[in-house]
A and B are shown apart, each in its own frame.
Chain A
Amino acid sequence: MTMIGGFFLSSLSIGWMDGSYGSIIMFFTNNRTGQIQVHHKGYLEDPSIYSTIGGYQTVGAFLDSIPEVRVWAPRIYSGALLAVRPRGAGSGNVFSNSAAASVIGIDPAMEEAATDFSDRIVNGEMLTASAADTSYAAAGQIILGRELSIILDASVGDSLVMLSQAADGSSADRKYVIRGIVSSGNADIDRNTCYITLSDAQILFALQGKVHEIAVMTHSLGRVDELTGEISAGLSGKDLETDSWKTFAKEFYNGMKADEVQLKIMIFVIVLVAAMGVLNTILMMVLERRREFGVMKALGTRPGFIVRMVVLEANIMGAISVIAGAILSTSGLLFLSKHGLVMDPPLNYGGTVFREMIASITPECYWIPAICVFITASTVSFLPALKAAHTKAAKTLRAV
């Protein structure tokens, strides 16, 4: 029973850990940051508009040559003041609703491939190529974060004016039509972020051919560290730096790690408690069958044979509990992978809120607890097995 319970709980926890944490990390990184980022040296500490990656297409071509890189997305970051003409204010040039915002220049197609950007557009549409991509004089398209659109009291189709400064010191002002409203799941970000196309941003901020960041999406979380090293080595000498999400999303990473350590401790405690239970069960079994072991000894059974027999029996018990536990935990995991567990209060990792945690069914959910069960069964049964093997036949056979 204890073995079944132990298997069940640890299997569930592992599925939980793998599923939830893995998917939260993937969700977090895939939706925004990527698992790896390339910047100009020092950009992370001091994100200045001048700290750019020149010739980013070359870097991109290098990234494309690495099979483990799924996609990459170039970005420009700057700040601006946005002003909207209030609805019903007539036709005068009164742009009285205003807010400061960070402006992110994105390549619509690449961003879409990297982060499924349009999935999070709650109103309107994704950015497309427009005249503003080539001409400074034309009006551009802009997407606002949802909270920002509320502050500005602006909706799709409205016009706004952006006031900023370009990298060459000139003023960067342009008229925009709101193309969409986006909700990223992080209200803090949506309160102060707007998006324009990369080409637009390059013209507006006088950053032709340059970007601030390249976000890299990989195929698997497990190899991110190696891949970061690989990219870093490939880009050496370019005055760039390559970091994994563990560095550029430190707060998020530390939050995850603290939780994961907690869960691992929990699993360890489960295994320990289960092991004590198993030890107890097997000791009882040996004690109950003392007479039987006494008879075996009298009939000339070698002590080693009895040791092997008891350890084998414990492992058979283990195998049975693995099967029973697997059935139990599969149903549990299936449930958790479909319905998830609603988190109340919601978990908050570095500003991103997760209301529901979902488990995933991976081979690890089974083989790790299974190995634990067999190792525990073997080690824990060894002492009782020795006890059984050294049963004194003369003594036990006397006690009728």
Chain B
Amino acid sequence: MTDIDVIVAEGVVKTYDDSGVPVHAVRGIDYTLSKGEFTAIIGPSGSGKTTFLNVLAGLDTPTEGKVWLSGKLISDMSGKELSDFRRDHIGFIFQAYNLFPVLTVEENVEYVMLLQGILSVERHDRVMNILEKVGIAEYAGRLPMQLSGGQQQRAAVARAMVSRPSLVIADEPTANLDSKTSGALLDMMRQLNEDTGMTFLFSTHDEIVMRRARKIVIIRDGKIDGKASSEEI
């Protein structure tokens, strides 16, 4: 493990056992994600992508194995520490956007900075700056439902990045978008990755998205089934 490793996962196994019938969603994965990567986890539906991302982000606990985030073992962290760690180090983009429906775009983006206790003036500057970058500054005062899907997902990207996390995790960020919008969103994300050096890890089974990734990890039946760089695809 080196200090450029954002994520290190060792022997991660996740077995769901809610219903009495054990479901082996992740069956032993070793994985390292380095700083500045722009990596897609691909695989068919049900292959364990979401489960794996949730475990990596500390949203779910692995049945077996260990995960280090920026060198810290997450199983060592208390609930509160983990909350604070996510707040300060991980940005999330969800498939269903999941913006807070009662807050404006600006307030949605501001939210994490509010948790961090950043002063109002700085919050405002940073919100407007990131909204510029994702191209929806003019919609700052709107409610999420007044925006198109693509615009909402751009707002979600802004929300994920505004607190300057070391890692942005996105689970099928384009699954609800048409191909043209998907392409544009991914281009924008990749541009931000190049400009800021922020690390991106996202899952997809969408070819348009895969093609824009710089590295690809293939998951099948809860196991890594191959790695590739974008040129190889």
Query: Hey, which bits of chain A sit against chain B, CB under 8 A?
Result: 291-292, 295, 297-305, 392-394, 397-398, 400
B57 touches A303 (CB 8 A): no
B211 within 8 A of A: no
B80 touches A300 (CB 8 A): no
Closest residue of chain B to A397 (Cβ to Cβ) is B94
B54 touches A394 (CB 8 A): yes
List the B side residues contacting A305 at CB < 8 Å: 115
List the A side residues contacting B92 at CB < 8 Å: 295, 298-299
B98 → A minimal CB distance (Å): 5
Task: Give the B interface residue count (CB, 8 A).
Answer: 25
What mask results when residues 61 to 94 of chain B are scored 1 for a CB within 8 Å of chain A, else 0?
A: 0000000000000000001100111111010101
Which of A297, A304, A394, A400 touches B96 (beta carbons < 8 Å)? A400
Which of A295, A301, A304 touches B94 (beta carbons < 8 Å)? A295
Number of A-B residue pairs with CB-CB distance less than 8 Å in the complex they form: 55
List the A side residues contacting B80 at CB < 8 Å: 302-304
B60 within 8 A of A: yes
4 closest pairs, A vs B, by CB? A300-B87, A300-B86, A394-B60, A394-B54
A300 touches B84 (CB 8 A): yes
B79 touches A303 (CB 8 A): yes
Given contacts A394-B54, A400-B96, contact A300 B59 (CB under 8 A): no
Interface centre among A297, A301, A304, A400 (most CB of B within 10 A): A301
Tell me the complex Cα distance, A301–B90, Å.
12
List the B side residues contacting A397 at CB < 8 Å: 59, 94, 96, 98
Which of A292, A300, A304, A394 touches B100 (beta carbons < 8 Å)? A292
Tell me the complex Cα distance, A392–B79, Å.
12
State the main secondary structure of chain A at its contact with B: helix
Given contacts A305-B115, A393-B59, A394-B60, contact A299 B94 (CB under 8 A): no
B139 within 8 A of A: no
B50 within 8 A of A: yes
Given contacts A295-B100, A394-B60, contact A301 B54 (CB under 8 A): no
B96 touches A300 (CB 8 A): no
List the B side residues contacting A299 at CB < 8 Å: 86-87, 92, 111-112, 115, 159
B83 touches A302 (CB 8 A): yes
Closest residue of chain B to A303 (Cβ to Cβ) is B79
B49 → A minimal CB distance (Å): 12
Q: A300-B88, A304-B80, A394-B60 are in contact. List 10 more A-B contacts (CB 8 A).
A: A295-B92, A295-B98, A295-B100, A299-B86, A299-B115, A300-B86, A300-B87, A302-B115, A397-B94, A397-B98
List the A side residues contacting B85 at CB < 8 Å: 300
A301 touches B83 (CB 8 A): yes
List the B side residues contacting A302 at CB < 8 Å: 80, 83-84, 115
A300 touches B115 (CB 8 A): yes
A sample of 14 cross-chain residue pairs with beta-carbon separation below 8 angstroms, ordered by A number, consists of A295-B98, A298-B57, A298-B59, A298-B86, A299-B111, A300-B86, A300-B90, A301-B115, A302-B115, A303-B79, A303-B83, A397-B59, A397-B98, A400-B95
Given contacts A292-B100, A394-B60, A400-B96, contact A300 B112 (CB under 8 A): yes
Tell me the complex Cα distance, A283–B89, Å.
32
List the B side residues contacting A398 at CB < 8 Å: 50
B98 touches A300 (CB 8 A): no
Tell me the complex Cα distance, A221–B101, Å.
56
Closest residue of chain A to B116 (Cβ to Cβ) is A300
Closest residue of chain A to B57 (Cβ to Cβ) is A298
Tell me the complex Cα distance, A302–B84, Å.
7
List the B side residues contacting A297 at CB < 8 Å: 59, 83
A63 → B minimal CB distance (Å): 66
List the B side residues contacting A392 at CB < 8 Å: 60
Tell me the complex Cα distance, A106–B122, Å.
83
